[in-house]
Structure 1
Amino acid sequence: MRIMAFDYGTKRIGIAVTDPMQIIATALTTVHPLEFWDFLSTYLAKEQVSTFVIGKPLQLDGTASESAHHVVGFVRKLRQIYPKIAVVEIDERFTSKMASQTIAQSGLKKRKRQEKGLVDTVSATIILQTYLASNA
C-alpha cells in the first residue's frame, strides 16, 4: 500500500506518493482543485493507499495561517469520502521555500524551474518525506 501526500492550494494541489513498500517519496502531479476528486477516485481505483498526509499551513508562531481554513474543509471531505484511509496532518512550514531551493539547485533549465506546479509537487514530496522520516 502507498502513502499519498498533498500540498493543498486554492489554485493547485501538489501530489506525491510512496512506492508500495512506503520507502521512497516521489512527486506525482499537480491537479486543479476542481479536478482533484475525480483524479483521486481514478487513482484509488488502480492503487491501494493506506494513508493521506496533508500539509497543515502554520505561521512561524505555530498558529493557523490564513489559508488553514481551506485545508480544514479539504481534510473534512477526505475523511468523509474515504473513511477507511487514515488522514494525517503535518506542519508544512518552509516546504515551499525548501521546494524552491531544491528546484533552483536541481540543474533544471530555467523554463522548467519556472513552472508553477513544480513547486507544489516538490512541496508535496517534502511533506511526504518529512512524514516518512518521522515514522522511521
Structure 2
Amino acid sequence: MQPTMARILAIDFGTKRTGIAVTDELQLIASGLTTVETPKLMDFLKKYIGQETVERVLIGQPLQKDGTPSDVETEIKKFLEIFSKEFPDMPFTRVDERYTSKMAFQTMIDSGLKKKQRRNKALLDEISATIILQQYLYND
C-alpha cells in the first residue's frame, strides 16, 4: 500500500485571527503553520492549497460546555459557504474544539514560555489549530 502524500490542514477560526496547522505529507506529525488575519484567510488558503497537496481541511467547531454552538459559529458558517465555492472538491471536517484554547495556553506554560510570550494571541491560535489537528489524527 502506497503511503498518503497529502497534507491535512487545520483551521482555528477566529473573528480577528485564524490559527493554521498542517501535517507532514505522511500525515504523521501535526505542526503549527501560521496565524493569518481572518479577512486574509481565503487568499492565504488559495495560495497554500495551490502550492501544496492538501487532502482535507479541518475546521474547529467551537461549542459551549453544554454542546450549543458558540457565537463565532455564524461567522464560520459564512466562511464555509465561501470555502465550498472556492474549493468545491476539497473535503472538510468539523472538529470539536472545546478546551483547545485552555490546552494551548497550558502548552505555552509547560514549554517554559515567559508571561510576555504567553500573551501572544497569534501563537495561542496557532497552537490551538495544532491541537485540533492532533485530536483528529490521534482520535480517529
- When normalised by structure 2's length, the TM-score is 0.92
Q: Does 1:21 align with 2:20?
A: no
* From 116, 133, 137, the counterpart of 1:128: 133
Q: Distance in 2 between matches of 1:97 and 1:109?
A: 17
1:128 corresponds to which letter in structure 2?
L
Matched, 1:106 2:102: no
Number of paired residues?
135
Match 1:66 to one of 55, 58, 71:
71
Rounded Cα–Cα distance in structure 1 between residues aligned with 2:28 and 2:84: 24
Q: List gaps (5 residues or longer) in structure 2.
A: 1-5
Equivalent-residue separation in structure 2 for 1:108 and 1:80 (angstroms): 40
Percent identical among aligned pairs is: 49
Task: Give the CA RMSD over aligned residues.
Answer: 1.0
Counterpart check, 1:49 vs 2:39 = no
| More moved, 67-76 vs 16-25 | 67-76
CA distance in structure 2 between the partners assigned to 1:111 and 1:129 by the alignment: 26
Match of 1:85, as an amino acid? M
Distance in 1, Cα, partners of 2:91 & 2:23 = 15
List structure 1 segments (4+ residues) > 4 angstroms apart after TM superposition.
none
- The unaligned stretches of length 5 or more in structure 1 are none
Matched to 2:10, the amino acid is A
8 Å CA contact 2:11, 2:57 repeated in 1? yes
Question: Does the 8 A contact of 1:99 with 1:126 survive in 2?
Answer: yes
Of residues 82, 85, 90, the one that matches 1:80 is 85
1:8 paired residue among 13, 33, 42: 13
* Contact 2:59-2:95 at 8 Å conserved across structures: yes
- Using the TM superposition, give the Cα deviation of residue 109 of structure 1 relative to its aligned residue in structure 2, in angstroms: 3.2
